Amino acid sequence: MTLLTTWPESGPQTVVRRTADPAEIAAALAPLGVRYEQWPVRADVPADAGGDTVLTAYRTEIDRLNSEEGFSSVDVVALHPGDAPDWPQRARAAREKFLTEHTHDDDDEVRFFVSGAGIFYLHVAGEVHAVYCEKGDLLGVPKGTTHWFDMGTEPSFTAIRFFHEEDGWIGNFTGSGIASRFPGFDDIHAGHVQAQTA
């Protein structure tokens, strides 16, 4: 289940908003220019499915989004425990790359979660919005939006990525240490799972 948590940028001591309602999440993110929607989850697509299988399964949704947004390329990125002998090193390097606050000058960051989960943290207008995304969630972060992404210490996800620019992901890092002041994926994920099973 998706979760949106909003705090003041000063820190997580005060919760401004917390909701798992998709309509409320979309309404809260829309004024920030952030696209949030849910696509049907394809039960016949395994969590570790290859890129061609994923793209074929979601072709209708991909084509619709492409026609609306004019993306030049679409691909699939996956990171799952044990998927390569060097998985611990790959996971650590991947997490560190995205865990520092940054922006993108030339492209939006648009991701659809086929499986697994991750959290986008949006730092906008004096607040930090943590958007916990899982399978079925699509999030579009507009270019220029200050943000970071946490996939946790044991990443497990498959996502479709959409690009307007052929260069793909290029981050401009702000040098801020703000990400270290807020709960990371592991803490939010554990609390979220516990709340769902309570």
**Number of residues written out for the chain:** 198
Annotated binding residues for Ni(2+), written as ranges, equal 102, 104, 109, 147
Q: Distance between CA 64 and CA 8 in Å, rounded?
A: 35
Annotated binding residues for Fe(2+), written as ranges, equal 102, 104, 109, 147
Question: Phi then psi for 183, rounded to 5 degrees?
Answer: -55, 135
Element (H, E) at 66: helix 59-69
Question: Phi then psi for 189, rounded to 5 degrees?
Answer: -60, -45
Annotated binding residues, written as ranges, equal 102, 104, 109, 147
- Alpha carbons within 13 angstroms on the beta-carbon side of residue 189 total 17
Which position has the token pair 């290029």? 170
Q: Interior CA angle at 168 toward 165 and 171, to 5°? A: 110
Contacts of 86 (CB under 8 A, 6+ apart): none
